[in-house]
């Protein structure tokens, strides 16, 4: 799909398309108000006229984010597929866990298996694609890199947005400085300003774009005003991470990455401090050998709102054929 054709499609899309909020029960780790299991929320987009469309695209968000991050991308993809954007447990409209040690990739991947099983029961999935930003990309690598998992079918196309098997320690330390810290905001604009202070690496946004991106990050606070949408306890296992633990995790992620057979597109903010240029270059030489697209003026992580970012993902996911790499 050419960029001009993509932009024409975008202009012709019905602007009133909105997602529906759904839930899936996930066994295992208990929510704070349950004896067993928890519910994960997900936002489902469908503008195809076929609620049982067999092409499913899952869009998974970053560490402290939520599924509505993908509104712009989802609106572009919804006329062509069933687009599902989960709120990973502890975020958005999903349950909070009783034990914060559950807030780690293995549980998140297990929850996604429950989600995919539910989607497949509702309507057979014949094509499964995955778009993952940061943490969502790690979840995608775990799923796509274990062919023995009970997925409805193998991941067909995989988009890794500014993430790889190696995460730069300095970036993890930067994120740890604000993750889980108490926050209260009197107004949406005050919250948007505070979020921008820790998210300037996302790259240029208009004030309207940033406010729209910030609103789903907020929930009403009991004392009035707003708080952040996520359970502050998601920071507990993250802040317990040590350099040695990170190295051990990298070895495991490389094993998953080298087993990926999905056609893969790697996106990178050119100024990213999480995905280094060296790691990105090595990723292109092994595993699924993805093509990489870099975005100037952006660090960690591209928000997939700018036209060139959305076009890169849309071209890749909607291109005909099933080549191993982009």
119-164 pLDDT per residue, tens: 999 999 999 999 999 999 999 999 999 988 888 889 999 999 999 9
CB contact set of 242 (below 8 Å; sequence gap of 6+): none
181: left (phi over 0), alpha (psi -120 to 50) or beta: beta
Residue 180 has pLDDT above 50, yes or no: yes
Instruction: Give yes or no for a contact between 30 and 98, defined as CB atoms under 8 angstroms apart.
Output: yes
pLDDT digits (tens, 9 = 90+) for 216-232: 999 999 999 999 999 99
Instruction: Give the fold, CATH level 3, of 3-180+230-318.
Output: Rossmann fold (3.40.50)
In angstroms, how far is CA 204 from the centroid of its own chain?
20
Cis peptide preceding 301, ω within 30 of 0: yes
Q: What is the CA radius of gyration of the chain?
A: 18
CB contact set of 11 (below 8 Å; sequence gap of 6+): none
Rounded to two decimals, what is the model's pTM?
A: 0.93
In angstroms, how far is CA 177 from the centroid of its own chain?
21
Average pLDDT, the chain: 93
Rounded distance between C-alpha atoms, residue 237 and residue 246, angstroms? 12
Q: Give the model's confidence band at 321: pLDDT under 50 very low, under 70 low, under 90 confident, else very high.
A: low
In the numeric block, which tokens belong to residue 182? 């108490």
Rounded distance between C-alpha atoms, residue 36 and residue 114, angstroms? 15
In the numeric block, which tokens belong to residue 247? 């190295």
């Amino acid at each position: 799909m050419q960029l001009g054709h993509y932009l024409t499609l975008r202009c012709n899309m019905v602007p009133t398309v909105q997602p529906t909020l759904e839930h899936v029960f996930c066994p295992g780790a208990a929510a704070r108000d349950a004896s067993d299991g928890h519910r994960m929320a997900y936002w489902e987009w469908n503008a195809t006229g076929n609620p049982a469309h067999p092409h499913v695209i899952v869009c998974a968000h970053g560490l402290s984010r939520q599924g509505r991050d993908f509104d712009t991308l989802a609106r572009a993809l919804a006329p062509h597929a069933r687009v599902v954007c989960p709120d990973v447990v502890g975020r958005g409209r999903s349950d909070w866990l009783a034990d914060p040690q559950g807030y780690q990739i293995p549980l998140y991947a297990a929850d996604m298996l429950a989600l995919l099983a539910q989607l497949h029961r509702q309507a057979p999935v014949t094509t499964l694609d995955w778009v993952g930003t940061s943490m969502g990309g790690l979840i995608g690598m775990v799923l796509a890199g274990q062919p023995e998992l009970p997925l409805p079918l193998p991941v067909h196309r995989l988009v890794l947005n500014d993430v790889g098997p190696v995460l730069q320690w300095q970036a993890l330390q930067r994120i740890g400085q604000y993750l889980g810290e108490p926050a209260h905001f009197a107004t949406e604009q005050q919250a948007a300003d505070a979020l921008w202070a820790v998210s300037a690496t996302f790259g240029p946004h208009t004030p309207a774009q940033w406010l729209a991106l910030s609103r789903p990050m907020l929930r009403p606070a009991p004392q009035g005003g707003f708080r952040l949408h996520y359970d502050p306890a998601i920071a507990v296992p993250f802040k317990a991470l040590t350099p040695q633990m990170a190295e051990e995790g990298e070895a495991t992620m490389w094993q998953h990455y080298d087993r990926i057979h999905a056609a893969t597109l790697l996106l990178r903010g050119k100024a990213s401090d999480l995905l280094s240029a060296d790691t990105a270059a090595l990723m292109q030489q092994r595993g699924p050998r993805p093509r990489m697209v870099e975005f100037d003026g952006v660090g960690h992580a591209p928000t997939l709102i700018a036209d060139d970012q959305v076009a890169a993902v849309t071209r890749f996911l909607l291109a005909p054929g099933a080549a191993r790499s982009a």
